[in-house]
């Protein structure tokens, strides 16, 4: 009896079992405003690093000009085809420019793993229109008899099936060449964590930068007393950001939750930027973070074009080369090529030095450099001569041993 009285607490404790669903709901209410956070496209679009990576990738891909070419010997000659030039360079459909078409295709691939364009043909087999299709409305189906794969689309109640040849397909990532994997699948946890951190920060400041907690009372408290104490503490944490709470009757307040510094809030957001950079291939400095030097940023931009963007360009070249030109054109060597140099145009001084080196080593003739700057050729065909570094004489004069260009 004496032992029981010695260990008996000063105030009685009321224990109530809490179901797991109720507990998780309470935690969501504290840290995320009551919403269950998932790596959905809507939630991801609200995150600045994801939105920035999406904008940079899709705009970069949209800026690249694509055209028809044929290889004649060692030369690459531009090919003119009125129908294909119209859908590739002028207007792929009545609603979009070529830039916007490519932007939408990569956007679908970014979110859903793949983007598809329907190359609509007339009765003669000529491509007359190119329409991007919504990836979220597509189901991949394999025909049991032929083994061929079909892309079944259901858009606003309208259903249609496409063969692979009817579509030009761009993958964000794929492991089998049939099914794509987008950022929502690859970076699901990183997106969910950053969404929760962003929602937690909003909740934190909405509550006056104060966290909830537990008030301990040294005696038994009636339900009415509990409600009154709870209401008084709510007033301290509401609008008056610098209010002071006064406790009596042996009350003790224990904060519940993590402070911003304990949670390393800012550092966690920065880590998410690094994660999105790894998943998308967009350099950190392009996502407005990092402290690299100018030279380092310039090199990273070059790496971004060659390592991140070029694979999408090569994919698109391969798809359109096989699916846009007529079979007779393909047999004659016609192919689609994307000019990534449009994204590598630097400041005027850097471009001038670049052209000088290429001209001095006979990689380009002056007219080639002028064409890249959208300038007319030198009159009289003088710009067609290739020059080398011996007082910038012509290649022929240098081979003849002459000191000057003769």
pLDDT digit string, tens, across residues 371-391: 877 678 888 888 888 887 765
Please give the Cα distance from 122 to 88 (Å, whole number).
16
In 3D, which of 294, 271, 269, 297 has the Cα closest to residue 283? 297
CA 71 to chain centre: 34
Where do the structural domains in the chain lie, given as residue ranges?
66-186, 346-406
- The pLDDT, as a whole number, for residue 22 is 57
Q: Which of 345, 260, 331 is nearest to 301 (CA)?
A: 345
Low-confidence ranges of the chain (pLDDT < 50): 1-15, 23, 26-27, 30-34, 36, 209, 211, 241-242, 258, 260, 262-263, 265-266, 405-406
Q: Report residue 31 as tokens.
A: 């840290």
Residue pair 241/208 in contact (Cβ under 8 Å)? The answer is yes
pLDDT for the residue numbered 343: 78
Ramachandran sector of residue 113 (left: φ over 0; alpha: ψ -120 to 50; beta: rest): left
Whats the size of the chain, residue-wise? Answer: 406
Q: Which fold has domain 66-186?
A: Cytidine Deaminase; domain 2 (3.40.140)
Q: E strand or H helix at 375, and its extent? A: none
The string of pLDDT tens digits covering residues 138-169 is 999 999 999 999 999 998 888 999 999 999 99
- Check residue 27 and give its pLDDT: 46
The crossing angle, in degrees rounded to 10, of helices 265-280 and 188-206 is 150
pLDDT of 109 reads 96
Strands (E), 145-273: 149-155, 158-163, 167-171, 213-216, 252-255
pLDDT value of position 200 = 58
| pLDDT at 387 (0 to 100) | 80
Residue 38 is given by DSSP the state -
> Residue 351 burial (CB < 10 Å; 0-12/13-18/19+)?
middle
| Beta carbons within 10 angstroms of residue 7's beta carbon | 6
At residue 406, the pLDDT reads 46
């Amino acid at each position: 009896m004496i032992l029981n009285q010695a260990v008996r607490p000063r105030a009685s404790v009321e224990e109530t079992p809490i179901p797991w669903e109720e507990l998780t709901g309470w935690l969501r209410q504290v840290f995320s405003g009551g919403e269950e956070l998932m790596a959905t496209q809507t939630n991801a679009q609200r995150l600045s690093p994801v939105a920035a990576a999406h904008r940079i990738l899709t705009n970069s891909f949209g800026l690249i000009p694509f055209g028809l070419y044929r290889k004649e010997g060692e030369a690459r000659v531009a090919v003119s085809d009125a129908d294909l030039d119209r859908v590739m360079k002028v207007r792929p459909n009545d609603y979009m420019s070529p830039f916007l078409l490519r932007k939408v295709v990569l956007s679908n691939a970014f979110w859903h793993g793949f983007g598809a364009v329907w190359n609509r043909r007339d009765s003669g087999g000529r491509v007359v229109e190119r329409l991007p299709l919504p990836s979220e409305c597509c189901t991949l189906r394999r025909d049991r008899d032929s083994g061929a794969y079909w892309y079944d689309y259901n858009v606003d109640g309208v259903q249609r099936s496409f063969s692979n040849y009817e579509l030009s397909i761009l993958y964000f990532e794929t492991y089998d060449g049939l099914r794509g994997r987008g950022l929502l699948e690859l970076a699901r946890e990183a997106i969910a964590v950053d969404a929760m951190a962003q929602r937690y920060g909003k909740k934190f400041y909405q509550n006056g930068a104060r966290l909830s907690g537990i008030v301990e009372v040294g005696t038994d408290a009636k339900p009415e007393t509990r409600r009154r104490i709870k209401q008084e503490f709510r007033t301290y944490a509401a609008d008056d950001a610098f209010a002071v709470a006064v406790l009596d009757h042996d009350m003790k307040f224990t904060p519940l939750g993590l402070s911003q510094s304990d949670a390393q809030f800012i550092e966690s957001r920065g880590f998410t930027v690094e994660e999105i950079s790894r998943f998308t291939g967009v350099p950190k400095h392009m996502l407005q973070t990092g402290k690299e030097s100018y030279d380092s940023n310039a090199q990273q931009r070059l790496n971004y074009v060659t390592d991140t963007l070029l694979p999408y360009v090569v994919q698109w070249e391969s798809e359109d080369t096989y699916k846009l030109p007529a079979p007779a054109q393909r047999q004659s060597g016609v192919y689609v090529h994307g000019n990534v140099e449009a994204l590598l145009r630097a400041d005027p001084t850097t471009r001038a030095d670049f052209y000088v080196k290429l001209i001095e080593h006979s990689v380009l003739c002056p007219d080639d450099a002028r064409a890249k700057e959208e300038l007319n050729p030198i009159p009289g065909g003088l710009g067609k001569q290739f020059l080398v570094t011996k007082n910038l004489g012509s290649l022929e004069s240098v081979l003849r041993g002459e000191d000057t260009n003769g």
